[in-house]
A and B are shown apart, each in its own frame.
Chain A
Amino acid sequence: MLPLISFRAIAPGMALAATACLLLLLDLLPTRGRKDHLAVVGLAGVVLSMILSLGLWGSDERAFNGMVRLDGFALFFNLVIGFATGLVLLLSIDYLRRQGMESGEFYILVLFSAVGMTLMAGAGDLIVIFLGLEVMSLSLYVLAGWFEGRLEAGEASMKYFLLGAFASGFFLYGIALIFGATGSTNLDRIAVAVAGGAARDPLLIIGFGLLVAGFGFKISSVPFHMWTADVYQGAPTSVTALIATGSKAAAFAALLRVLLSALRTVQPDWAVLFWGLAVLSMTAGNVVALAQQNIKRMLAYSSIAHAGYILVGVVAGGALGGGGVLFYLLVYTFTTAGAFGVILLLERDGREAVAVSDLAGLATRHPVLALTFSVFLLSLVGIPPTAGFVGKFYLFGAAVRTGYVWLAVIGVVNSAIAAYYYLRLIVFMYMREPEGSPTVLVPSLPAGLALAVALWGVVQLGVLPAPFLDLAQAAVIPLLR
């Protein structure tokens, strides 16, 4: 039977894919050696994709025999991915040229990874999730090692690739076992099979466990987090931002869709598992982050801890928990892309300033930048009126309302621990004097624009969160039907 071919259902992803192909052709044209125009065209494609997502708002369709879903959930994540990709493109333009590593392939691969993320967000079938995961990951493996010749870049790319390939293997094996247990890879049909008694099938349980290992790697949850710090440190800072925001959001999108639409009937069973993962990720991430002297490594452990916070919302489930997860991922995208965006503007003695001590005295020389960075850090801590506070409030609130009080308590305690290392950066910026030559700010118009957008997001979602929260909760509803 021929599937229903609906270009409408894949329009946002198609816009990104077509832009990527256009960039390929543009890169072949002889140019004056600069590649900025590729980033600009890529950005136009991202904006077009976001506009299409907004235009399709409210639709709820399945296409290509259930392979693709066009619903509020997918569209919300398209926006998150669009913001992440757009910010990363803006941040990369001057940064790459400064490092002498500008090349057309960079922007092409960023677009490719965005296509993969979009596929994951709108997938209705485990096969499509896997393909999206691979398109995204392959591009990110290459991007992580972009600064060839630097030792840590090679380490980052190699570790990310080897462990990521392992995780993909687990994921694929899990799909095979689930297919064996339920006779389908389609999420709807899996849901029917699970409701019909396949839930106790050991094949399904093992397969689901393998699937969780694959997802756990991409969201960098403990105990699948081993790659995170080295990759975040060695990758170009703008790519680190993409890995931390876009790839994490896409993985959470696919995970949440599998859990809520295919395995909703057995929620108590998987909630226990994710309860454990959430506590481990929050605690381990925050405790290890306390000892970091490198800001990128510190933010890596912070990202592990945030995966834990977001998993709290996954455990809570339903419209409340799911909506909390979606909202927090949007908040986290603005906050983290902004924080990495500040770091990549700093240089000291001609090298990238990534040590905590490099921040000393920043507030006196670059007060605006220091203030911007402080806002992002406060949002990561979760202090009102920043967006991070609202996000955490709804995540933990959902946990309390669904009866996971202890989980919320552990989350709040962890947030308090985390405050120490975020505030330490602010202390360095405002209360320490630099030793030796000071850290300088390298001005960049596109990066400034990106920081402005990120700052707008953090403030807007912190001060007036209600409409966005409603959107996030409405986006989860199609999964719960």
Chain B
Amino acid sequence: MGSVIAFWILAALVVGSAVGLVVRRNPIHGALFLVVNLGGVAALYLMMHAEFLAAAQVIVYAGAIAVLFVFAIMVLIPGKEETGPDPLRAQRWLAVPLGGFLALEIALVLRSTVFTTSRSPATVPGGVEAVGRLLFTDYLFPFEVTSFLLLAALIGVMALTKRKAS
């Protein structure tokens, strides 16, 4: 019972912050709503005992990515003189039929039996130890490749931002 109540509170928090993110005109406020949203999703992961995922969500997304968003907004935010009227304003009306279509789609999915029957809940444990054990045995190769991916990202950042200095 307690977990059901907690779920609904979290769900309201997640959906509410997502709405806030879309509605707020100030991008910084939007970014803060995003942090709330990511934190709420992390709590939802925790409720499903996916502890590693929850921690990753908080450390990487709510922590680092949100910081990057804020900096990117600070760098790119245009002065008042640069924001003219939205040239594609007419396209906004497309949101109404497309949103309706999506709602219809979700309703159909929820009503259908395809996604409810015969699918057991996750069999893979999501605790940190379980993830670690998988990561260092079965997924050893992808794990090591990840370090290479991060290295490529580092060099890419250097090439993009610091090339002139060198």
Name the one of B142, B151, B163, B166 contacting A127, with C-beta atoms under 8 angstroms.
B142
Q: Which residues of B contact A103 (CB under 8 A)?
A: 159, 163, 166
Given A1-B138, A135-B148, decide whether A148 and B163 contact each other with a Cβ distance below 8 A.
yes
Nearest neighbor of A181 in chain B, beta-carbon distance? B119
Nearest neighbor of B164 in chain A, beta-carbon distance? A148
Name the one of A3, A24, A134, A135 contacting B140, with C-beta atoms under 8 angstroms.
A3
Contact present for A131 and B149 (CB under 8 Å): yes
Q: Which residues of A contact B140 (CB under 8 A)?
A: 2-3, 5, 64-65
Contact present for B137 and A128 (CB under 8 Å): no
Q: Does residue A141 face the partner (Cβ distance < 8 Å to B)? A: yes
Query: What bracket does the count of chain A residues touching chain B fall in?
Result: 35 or more
Contact present for A17 and B148 (CB under 8 Å): yes
Q: Which residues of A contact B153 (CB under 8 A)?
A: 138
Q: How far is the CA of A103 from the CA of B160 in the complex (A)?
A: 11
Contact present for A131 and B138 (CB under 8 Å): no
Contact present for A68 and B141 (CB under 8 Å): yes
Closest chain B CB from A242 CB (angstroms): 15
Contact present for A105 and B141 (CB under 8 Å): no
Contact present for A112 and B155 (CB under 8 Å): yes
Main secondary structure of the interface of A (DSSP, over half): helix
Contact present for B138 and A65 (CB under 8 Å): yes
Q: Does residue A139 face the partner (Cβ distance < 8 Å to B)? A: yes
Name the one of B119, B139, B152, B163 contacting A135, with C-beta atoms under 8 angstroms.
B152
Given A1-B138, A3-B137, A3-B138, decide whether A109 and B155 contact each other with a Cβ distance below 8 A.
yes
Pull 19 A–B residue pairs with CB atoms less than 8 Å apart, ordered by A.
A1-B137, A1-B138, A3-B140, A5-B140, A10-B141, A67-B141, A67-B142, A105-B155, A109-B155, A112-B151, A112-B152, A115-B148, A128-B141, A131-B149, A135-B145, A138-B153, A138-B156, A142-B159, A202-B114
Nearest neighbor of B163 in chain A, beta-carbon distance? A103
Q: Does residue A164 face the partner (Cβ distance < 8 Å to B)? A: no
In chain A, positions 1-36 with a C-beta closer than 8 Å to chain B are 1-3, 5, 10, 17, 24
Contact present for A131 and B156 (CB under 8 Å): no
Q: Does residue A108 face the partner (Cβ distance < 8 Å to B)? A: yes
Q: Does residue A411 face the partner (Cβ distance < 8 Å to B)? A: no
Contact present for A142 and B114 (CB under 8 Å): no
Q: Which residues of B contact A135 (CB under 8 A)?
A: 145, 148-149, 152
Q: Does residue A361 face the partner (Cβ distance < 8 Å to B)? A: no
Interface size on B, residues (CB 8 A): 23
Q: Which residues of A contact B151 (CB under 8 A)?
A: 112
Nearest neighbor of B159 in chain A, beta-carbon distance? A105
Chain A proximity mask over B57-95: 1 for CB below 8 Å, otherwise 0: 000000000000000000000000000000000000000
Nearest neighbor of B119 in chain A, beta-carbon distance? A180
Closest chain B CB from A23 CB (angstroms): 10
Q: Which residues of B contact A141 (CB under 8 A)?
A: 156
Q: How far is the CA of A103 from the CA of B166 in the complex (A)?
A: 9
Contact present for A142 and B160 (CB under 8 Å): yes
In chain A, positions 106-161 with a C-beta closer than 8 Å to chain B are 106, 108-109, 112, 115-116, 119, 125, 127-128, 131-132, 134-135, 138-139, 141-142, 145-146, 148
Q: How far is the CA of A128 from the CA of B155 in the complex (A)?
A: 21
Chain A proximity mask over B122-166: 1 for CB below 8 Å, otherwise 0: 000000000000000111111001101101110110111001001
Name the one of B141, B146, B158 contacting A64, with C-beta atoms under 8 angstroms.
B141
Q: Which residues of A contact B119 (CB under 8 A)?
A: 180
Nearest neighbor of A131 in chain B, beta-carbon distance? B145
Closest chain B CB from A311 CB (angstroms): 28
Q: How far is the CA of A141 from the CA of B160 in the complex (A)?
A: 10
In chain A, positions 76-103 with a C-beta closer than 8 Å to chain B are 103
- Supply 9 further A-B pairs (C-beta < 8 A) apart from A2-B140, A128-B142: A3-B140, A10-B141, A68-B141, A103-B166, A132-B145, A135-B148, A138-B152, A139-B155, A142-B156
Contact present for A24 and B149 (CB under 8 Å): no
Contact present for B148 and A139 (CB under 8 Å): no
Nearest neighbor of B122 in chain A, beta-carbon distance? A180
Contact present for B149 and A2 (CB under 8 Å): no
Q: Which residues of B contact A116 (CB under 8 A)?
A: 152
Given A125-B142, A131-B146, decide whether A105 and B163 contact each other with a Cβ distance below 8 A.
yes
Closest chain B CB from A275 CB (angstroms): 27
Closest chain A CB from B145 CB (angstroms): 5
> Which 3 A-B residue pairs are closest in the complex by CB-CB distance?
A105-B159, A64-B141, A142-B156
Nearest neighbor of B123 in chain A, beta-carbon distance? A183
Q: Which residues of A contact B137 (CB under 8 A)?
A: 1-3, 65
In chain A, positions 288-306 with a C-beta closer than 8 Å to chain B are none
Q: Which residues of B contact A108 (CB under 8 A)?
A: 155
Q: How far is the CA of A116 from the CA of B156 in the complex (A)?
A: 14
Contact present for A109 and B142 (CB under 8 Å): no
Nearest neighbor of B162 in chain A, beta-carbon distance? A105
Nearest neighbor of B153 in chain A, beta-carbon distance? A138
Q: Which residues of A contact B158 (CB under 8 A)?
A: 105
Q: How far is the CA of A180 from the CA of B155 in the complex (A)?
A: 35
Q: How far is the CA of A231 from the CA of B70 in the complex (A)?
A: 28
Given A1-B138, A3-B138, A138-B153, decide whether A128 and B145 contact each other with a Cβ distance below 8 A.
yes
In chain A, positions 376-395 with a C-beta closer than 8 Å to chain B are none
